[in-house]
């Protein structure tokens, strides 16, 4: 599956964001090693602290979909409010749990690919426990 297809899924997910407080819309699309694509959007909450990011939303959807296909090859992140839109720190750690290999974002020049080690260097993961 090509990167543009995955980013298109992230763009579509951003259109479903629930962000009445920040108006900051985000969509994420995860491509698994099994070839599945799972999407998520940010979902805010009146309590603010309970809001969840698009990336974690996509990851929990992935985890619930198929326990045998939880290896993340890449995540594409899109926001019409910020280009590029990178995952926050919490989401970086959450994606790390599932072995995310690459982060793809978009700016005015097109898609940008980042090895996960650049996104979250010297990270802590399941193998350290």
CA-CA distance, 60 to 71, in Å (whole number)?
A: 12
The contact pattern for Zn ion, residues 34-73, with x = CB under 5 A and - = no contact, is -------------------x--------------------
Closer to Zn ion by CB, 34 or 125: give it: 125
- Is the distance from CB of 59 to CB of 72 less than 8 angstroms? yes
- How many amino acids of this chain bind Zn ion (CB under 5 A)? 3
**DSSP H/E element including 36:** none
CA-CA distance, 85 to 124, in Å (whole number)?
A: 23
Select the residue interacting with Zn ion from 43, 88, 101, 114 (CB under 5 A).
88
List of residues contacting Zn ion (CB under 5 A): 53, 88, 91
């Amino acid at each position: 599956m090509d990167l543009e297809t995955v980013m298109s899924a992230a763009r579509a997910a951003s259109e479903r964001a629930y962000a009445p407080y920040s108006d900051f819309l985000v969509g994420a699309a995860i491509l698994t090693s099994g070839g599945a694509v799972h999407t998520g959007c940010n979902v805010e909450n009146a309590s603010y602290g309970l809001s969840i990011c698009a990336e974690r939303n996509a990851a929990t959807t992935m985890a619930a979909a198929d326990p045998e296909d939880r290896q993340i090859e890449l995540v594409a992140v899109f926001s019409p409010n910020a280009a590029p839109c990178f995952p926050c720190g919490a989401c970086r750690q959450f994606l790390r749990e599932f072995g995310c290999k690459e982060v793809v974002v978009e700016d005015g020049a097109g898609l940008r690919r980042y090895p996960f080690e650049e996104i979250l260097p010297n990270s802590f993961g399941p193998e350290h426990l």
